[in-house]
Structure 1
Amino acid sequence: MANNIPLAPEAGAVWLLKSVRGIVGTIELVGIDQPSFKCRFVPSPAWADFSDLFEKQARVVDQGIAEEAGAALKAVQELELILVPVESAGQTIRPSIIQIRGDRASFRF
């Protein structure tokens, strides 16, 4: 990391997606479409505790309901999510926005 600016992760990077409430799942970077990082998502056994928030977020974003989209984004942000690298050489990332849709995820940081 030069000048405290995080380096962009590379395809194949794998993280545990963690919240203050537990492990949400595993995220593997498959591509970058700036400003979003496109990923494969594998849910943890605790996914049922989180899935409703992400499903609602996707639904209101797709429907273009601005007020509800803002509330859904805030609810996801309140999970205080972090991406913790599976490989010790990777970087921990705190996404500013993250969406999970089935086995796909995308995030920005």
Structure 2
Amino acid sequence: MKSNLPAEQSSSAGQPERAKKRHCETWGELIQTQAAETKPARWKMYVGGEPVGILRLSIVDQTSSTCSFEPLEDWATVRDLFEVQNQAIQEGFPEDKGWATKEIRQRGVELHPLDEDSGAVITPFMIYVSGHEARFRP
């Protein structure tokens, strides 16, 4: 069967080039595939209007994005809040540690794109930072 595509768009085996592309099963897989082909998205993280870190996207799944985290000088002003939040996660969110998550949300977190093609400012629903890793839900 002859291809209806112009010759420059057909492969040497006569198959259209688009047929060679891998099918992605999930949204996360699609984003990961695209990220592997381009530079990953990067954001400057602000808490309470202060820049506290740089996030570089590494993994996206159906509910959250995982990034590497590079602290900036003002990270010291919020580090304790995130450490208490991490303890709360490990302990199953006891009531006496829920204040940290509330405080982080009340201060306000914004992720500002560092690259023109990284999209708009993101106000994450939830964000966790532990060591050099951050996870957020948009």
Q: TM-score, normalised by structure 1?
A: 0.84
Task: Verify: 1:107 aligned to 2:136, yes or no.
Answer: yes
What is the letter of the counterpart of residue 107 of structure 1?
A: F
Return 5+ residue gaps in structure 2 as ranges: 1-27
More helix by share: 2
CA contact (8 A) 1:61 1:69 kept: no
Distance 1:28 1:97, change over 3 A: same
Return 5+ residue gaps in structure 1 as ranges: 1-7
Question: Could you list the per-position Cα deviations for residues 76-108 of structure 1 after superposition, in whole angstroms to 9, with x for gaps in the alignment?
Answer: 111211000001232210001000000000000
More strand by share: 1
Identity of aligned residues (%): 34
Task: Verify: 1:24 aligned to 2:52, yes or no.
Answer: yes
Task: Verify: 1:33 aligned to 2:36, yes or no.
Answer: no
Secondary structure of the structure 2 residue equivalent to 1:53: helix
Q: In the aligned structure 1, how far is the partner of 2:47 from the partner of 2:105? A: 10
Please report the RMSD computed on the Cα atoms of aligned residues, expressed in angstroms: 1.6
Q: In the aligned structure 2, how far is the partner of 1:85 from the partner of 1:21? A: 15
CA contact (8 A) 2:47 2:104 kept: no
